[in-house]
Amino acid sequence: MTQRVYVDGPIHDEALGMLRSATEVVPEAVEMGAALPDVHAVLLRTASLDAKAIERARYLRVIARHGVGVDNVAVDAAARRGIPVLITPQANLRSVAEHVFALALAVSRNLIRADRTVRDGRFASRDRLLGRELFGTTLGVIGLGRIGGEVAGMATRGFGMRVLGYDPWLPTHRIRERGAEPAETLPDLLRACDLVTVHVPLSRETRGLLGRRELASMRPGSLLVQTSRGGVVDEDALVDALRSGHLAGAGIDVYKTEPPLQDHPFFSMEQVVLTPHTAALTEQAMRRMAVDAVQGILDVLGGADPYDPPDGARWQAFDPGPVAELGE
């Protein structure tokens, strides 16, 4: 019996070729709802796969995410059916970590405002664009999974920053191994840092993790970078913290509603730098995510145990345990 695979959206040509050489790929023109009853695997990019959809997929054996976030998959429903949800935890960690510093530098050095100043012929106003160095400042990393650990390493090696880490799902020695000094509590970290970056998936435990009280406890004049998932940071509270001047700026890649509504207050704030959920979208990461996800599908369809991957596998089955291990 030919194994049929549905792919949600475009993926790297190399990965698509891997799939086509071993399975039947559902044509792009077919909608997922129509394809599900007859597919054996689904590769998900941005579409959602809810419990009803999973129940209708009578032959489904594996779901693979083009990345690591699983908030668009009804993982409980999949588990009830014995369907593993695969993630690609190594594929995008460097790309996301680099994007954290792209946003941090853009905010701390006023890069967007500086660009507009030159384009508008206001070169002489450069003295009003005084920036701040990252060197010697304290970075707070919330969530010391793979991406958080990569960020911590870049901060110390590349920018000479002191790094504090908060992760209630990891023992302190693991936090230290990932290049950060453990903070006992989240408020302890927030009060001590000049820049805070968030690296946890969206879950019941992390929704609204940084709310009004937490943002108020951040060091006055500090910066926030958000590349995890929309909903982890309370956007209304963040707007108020920025408007009041308590926070000096923010770099934001993910939003509660994507795309943000056209009247979102972020759009009128010069101290905020926005990107359209592109932290993981580099040429290299897109190839790795696609190839790793496809290899996971082929391995599982070929009989591999999803919870005991072959040696060297760059995919793994989602584990609903310590959420910080998932990074993004």
Catalytic center residues? 229, 258, 277
DSSP class of residue 267 equals: G
327, 68 Cβ separation under 8 angstroms: yes
Q: Give the DSSP H or E segment for 308.
A: none
Task: Kindly report the number of other CB atoms within 10 A of residue 210's CB atom.
Answer: 24
Q: Which residue has the tokens 């695979």?
A: 5
Tokens of 103: 């946003």
Give the separation between CA 54 and CA 47, rounded to whole angstroms: 13
75, 96 Cβ separation under 8 angstroms: no
Contacts of 31 (CB under 8 A, 6+ apart): none
Give the separation between CA 117 and CA 316, rounded to whole angstroms: 47
Give the separation between CA 202 and CA 254, rounded to whole angstroms: 11
83, 65 Cβ separation under 8 angstroms: no
